[in-house]
Structure 1
Amino acid sequence: MPILPEIEAARPQLETIFRDLHAHPEIGFQEQRTAGIVADKLREWGFDEVHEGVAKTGVVGILKGRGPGNRRVGLRADMDALPIQETSGLDYASQNSGRMHACGHDGHTTMLLGAAKYLAASRNFDGTAVFIFQPAEEGLGGARGMIAEGLFKRFPVDEVYGMHNQPDGRPNRATICKGPAMAGASFFDITVTGKGSHAAMPQQSRDALVVAAALVGQFQTILGRNLPALERGVLSVTQIHAGSAYNVVPETAALAGTIRFFTPEARDLMQTRMREICAGFATGFGVQIDVEFREIFDVLLNDAALSDEWMAAAADVVGTDGVTDDVQPFTGSEDFADMLQVVPGAYGNLGHAGTVPLHNPGFVLDPEILPVGASIYARLVERRLPLEAA
């Protein structure tokens, strides 16, 4: 079964929606325009219920099938953009300065809307489909916000599915990793407080910048000398800030960055060793070092059986040769993981012709992916809530 004919017929409308969303990106918890478009479309297509303002800008649509079954399947798409200045050169490039859909969430939203339009017209399923349009995926806690506001208590589901575009130059290749599929993530902030001085007399200082620079290198020994060789982990210092003049040894220096992990044990080990190294440097250099960790993403755990269901739905659209679970876990993070901590489900990737990486100012999502992803979402509902079982 290729792209569903009804979704193929809706391709021009889906591309119009996609281009509009791409041209008007909104960052996390500010997706008022995007959420309004989503809610209006769901109402236009005859959804049974449309709920707005879930975690500020989230939207949930409820669609009942033709059968009276009580099983419920959730489908989720993210809506937020990134604080990036677009350089793609597209004729529908961002009109909002410093904002860009550099991760393809505009495409994810459009794909889920495509499935919504098709299923609302056919209702060819037995039970209820719950469409979740989530705000603030990019590290701002949108999934946790929706869950905290009772997402799965107000709109319970038996299982939930998500999907991400993959700019790998391999169109219509659907991949999924069973079990731990994407890393958990902590962000860290470290402040070194020493003693400032004139730069011509550094002996009078306790140089916070020298300490901060040394910490960057020492942190990397954690991966090579503390983390077990077969345990995956990433530790990246991504910011260092210190000083404001050419002739002043700065009194303070700040470091920030992220760690990525696939087990709580790896997370705890990296955090513990970072604290211990900082404590040792504080003693050795006579400075104060404050360390703060923030838990941002859980490890994304794909249910094995439901991963098979995601693959089966994808195979209906792209063919069995276009589907594989022979992929490695990914050290990037995704807050759909928080939903999978509450409800079992699966999260896969769909390749497209673009090759510029995600989060790059020149990223371009190939719109050919839109009806493909929409069809996979639709087939998930039809497969998991088969009408013939009514």
Structure 2
Amino acid sequence: MRIDDDIGARMLAWRHDFHAHPETAFEEHRTSAIVAQALRLMGLDVTVGLARTGVVATLSNGEGRTIGLRADMDALHLQELGARRYASRCAGKMHACGHDGHTAMLLGAAEYLARHRSFQGTVRFIFQPAEETEGGGREMVREGLFDRFPCDAVYGMHNFPTLARGRFALRSGTMSAALDTFEIGVTGKGCHAALPELGVDAIVASAQLVGALQALISRRIGASEAGVLSVTQIHGGDTWNVLPETVVLRGTVRSLGASVQQAIESGMRAVCEGVARTSGTQIGLDYRHGYPSVVNTEREAGLAASAAARLVGANNVDTAMVPTMGSEDFAFMLQRCRGAWITIGAGETGNDPPVHSPYYDFNDAILPLGAAYWVALVHAELGGRPNP
């Protein structure tokens, strides 16, 4: 099938506009307003304000099942690098994960379906804020997303620069890792750097912690299991000649499976206790459970794969994708409703900048394919055929 040329042009314009004006978690006011106005002009029933900046639009065409299609809208706190005419105009913020493209593709699909109405049933278009670490999907569910807008199934999609353009990938069951975060406070006894024997060195204890924490994965988690522990921040000290009293370490834990998650958490607590005893410091671990794993239901994963295969052929749809160690808060929606999350290939060279890179840019060439996937999925769920 082919997305109408004028819709394709609008998707490109929307995408570039969103990219130039990135908004981070729960601050997507401009983006939300543009999305809501565009949907109203298409004739859809639009609700705004769910999870502060979320938008839900409903398109009905007779009796039938109801499905939800979700796109994320938020950007990252990251300074964009690289020259492009639509580069971010907001210092320290950029669309480094492709949510600008995700939003544009779902808008394009909404316009196509509103124009052609070649299905029987109801489609909810869900534009979600705050996917990046702040759990906007969780907030939409908490605020009654599926109570106010019931769905028989809900679907999500994400671009992957590591997957070649023209391909899709997914699997039934676990698609992504659970994401937890941690903060470790190390308290010693500050002193002059020339007289370390008079203090208790929180810096040295922190260094011991980092090394010991990395050994948890290689020595306590089986080689056939999956877990990643990353210390991403270390804060301590203010000057050159003073050993600081306190050091703070922060980071993330990603795991596939509850047993791995529990083993890492209990191992971290044991490491903190051991380093505290041997270093003479006091160490406190604040371990916070965050995003759960994305888990696709079998029927919906099959329908998603079938819809993608209609567009690119079954040989270009990987239905046994290796689960990603990245996380995705679409997981909260799948905890409440059956559904599936699929990845769409965006790679051109095999060495494209990955998501969350300051050089990343969404591949505009996949805009029509992404919108066409949504339309094909609606037809797979609700019947009907796209225009040729």
What interval of TM-score do these two structures reach, taking the shorter chain for normalisation? over 0.9
Give distance in 1, aligned partners of 2:130 and 2:235.
27
Q: 1:68 aligns with which of 58, 63, 73?
A: 63
5 Å-filtered alignment, 1:366-381, equals 366-381=363-378
Shift of 1:378: 1.1
Partner of 2:22: 25
5 Å-filtered alignment, 1:131-170, equals 131-168=125-162, 170=164
Unaligned runs of 5+ in 2: none
Partner of 2:119: 125
Task: Please report the TM-score for the alignment, with normalisation by the length of structure 2.
Answer: 0.96
Question: What is the count of residue pairs matched by the alignment?
Answer: 382
Equivalent position amino acid for 2:113 in 1: L
Partner of 1:295: 289
Give distance in 1, aligned partners of 2:74 and 2:279.
43
Q: 2:178 aligns with which of 177, 184, 195?
A: 184
Partner of 2:322: 328
Partner of 1:230: 224
Unaligned runs of 5+ in 1: none
Give the 3-state SS of the residue equivalent to 2:159 in structure 1.
strand
Q: 1:69-96, CA deviations, whole angstroms, 9 ceiling, x for partnerless residues?
A: 2x11010000000011111311111111
Asked if 1:39 corresponds to 2:36, the answer is yes
Q: 1:324-380, CA deviations, whole angstroms, 9 ceiling, x for partnerless residues?
A: 213211101010111111111111111124511100111121111111100101111
Asked if 1:270 corresponds to 2:267, the answer is no
Q: 1:168-227, CA deviations, whole angstroms, 9 ceiling, x for partnerless residues?
A: 362111111221110001010000001011111100111111001100000112112211
Asked if the contact 1:88/1:364 (under 8 Å) is kept, the reply is no
Asked if 1:211 corresponds to 2:211, the answer is no
- The percent of aligned pairs where both chains have the same amino acid is 46
Asked if the contact 2:56/2:126 (under 8 Å) is kept, the reply is yes
RMSD: 1.3
Shift of 1:321: 2.5
Q: 1:111 aligns with which of 105, 110, 116?
A: 105
Asked if the contact 2:3/2:368 (under 8 Å) is kept, the reply is no
Shift of 1:45: 0.3
Asked if 1:283 corresponds to 2:277, the answer is yes
Give distance in 2, aligned partners of 1:310 and 1:92.
32
Give the 3-state SS of the residue equivalent to 1:168 in structure 2.
strand
Q: 1:310 aligns with which of 274, 293, 304?
A: 304
Equivalent position amino acid for 1:68 in 2: E
Partner of 1:87: 81
Asked if 1:58 corresponds to 2:39, the answer is no
The structure 1 segments of at least 4 consecutive aligned residues displaced by more than 3 Å after TM superposition are none
Q: 1:14-55, CA deviations, whole angstroms, 9 ceiling, x for partnerless residues?
A: 1111111111110010000000011001100000x2110100
Give the 3-state SS of the residue equivalent to 2:364 in structure 1.
coil
Equivalent position amino acid for 1:94 in 2: S
Shift of 1:305: 2.1
